[in-house]
């Protein structure tokens, strides 16, 4: 009698069957993660996930149990992407109980792609249950783990969208401010990204914040944060930074 395959093994087999010779893309992906990389492109992974697996017939709680085990034990980059694709399609299942389980997923994040896909889900949790989620974001904001620090801000506004309910700018900036001097490049990019998205929602207040802190921003953060500014404002802030460097 053949041994029954686990959901993790079934998913690994499904992904391996779709692998093609794409060395450049595989090499690009391998630079971003320490996980094993198959080299599958995002549309292929999304297609495999949407095609479904046998455990999709189970209840939402049991499905989460399976995805949780897969997330915690997978060693392949693409395998860890599949639960993120699944919950991107099943946002209705993101509830307080799933938050308590899925917030622990941040502990295995070690690359920007998984970080941002997970933060997209965290932003939905935060939008629906701010009182439940915000204490965790504030805890992550002070973490030694850079991916938790990044998540503490990126999960507040995952791209500005008028159809979604954003937190207050006071909350957003209170999480950004402690990370203005962060040395991790992905945190710096996250700070810049969030300042850019905040500017889309609250241009005057965000510009005022930039005016006060413009000399503190690393070059990476400044580049992201000022993408949407008017050319006049961006040039003025650049000149202010240049004058400061000249006097230093």
Which residue numbers in the chain have pLDDT < 50? 1
**Model confidence, pTM:** 0.95
What is the pLDDT, as a whole number, of residue 133? Answer: 98
What is the pLDDT, as a whole number, of residue 3? Answer: 75
What is the pLDDT, as a whole number, of residue 63? Answer: 98
Closest CA to 225 of 173, 174, 184: 173
pLDDT tens digit sequence for 121-160: 999 999 999 999 999 999 999 999 999 999 999 999 999 8
């Amino acid at each position: 009698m053949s041994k029954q395959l686990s959901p993790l093994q079934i998913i690994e087999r499904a992904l391996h069957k779709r692998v093609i010779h794409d060395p450049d893309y595989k090499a690009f992906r391998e630079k971003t993660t320490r996980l094993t990389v198959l080299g599958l492109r995002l549309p292929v992974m999304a297609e495999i996930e949407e095609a479904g697996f046998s455990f999709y017939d189970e209840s939402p709680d049991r499905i989460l149990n399976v995805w949780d085990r897969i997330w915690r034990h997978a060693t392949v980059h693409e395998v860890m992407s599949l639960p993120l694709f699944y919950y991107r399609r099943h946002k209705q299942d993101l509830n307080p109980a799933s938050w308590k389980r899925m917030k622990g997923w941040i502990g295995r994040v070690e690359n920007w792609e998984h970080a941002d896909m997970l933060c997209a889900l965290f932003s939905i949790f935060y939008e629906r249950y701010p009182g439940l989620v915000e204490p965790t974001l504030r805890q992550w904001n002070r973490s030694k783990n850079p991916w938790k620090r990044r998540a503490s801000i990126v999960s507040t506004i995952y791209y500005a969208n008028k159809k979604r309910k954003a937190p207050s700018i006071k909350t957003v900036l209170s999480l950004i401010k402690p990370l203005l001097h962060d040395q991790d490049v992905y945190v710096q990019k996250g700070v810049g990204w969030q300042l850019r998205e905040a500017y889309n929602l609250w241009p005057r207040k965000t510009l005022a914040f930039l005016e006060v802190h413009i000399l503190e921003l690393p070059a990476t953060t400044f580049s992201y944060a000022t993408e949407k500014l008017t050319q006049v404002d961006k040039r003025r802030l650049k000149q202010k930074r240049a004058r400061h460097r000249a006097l230093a």
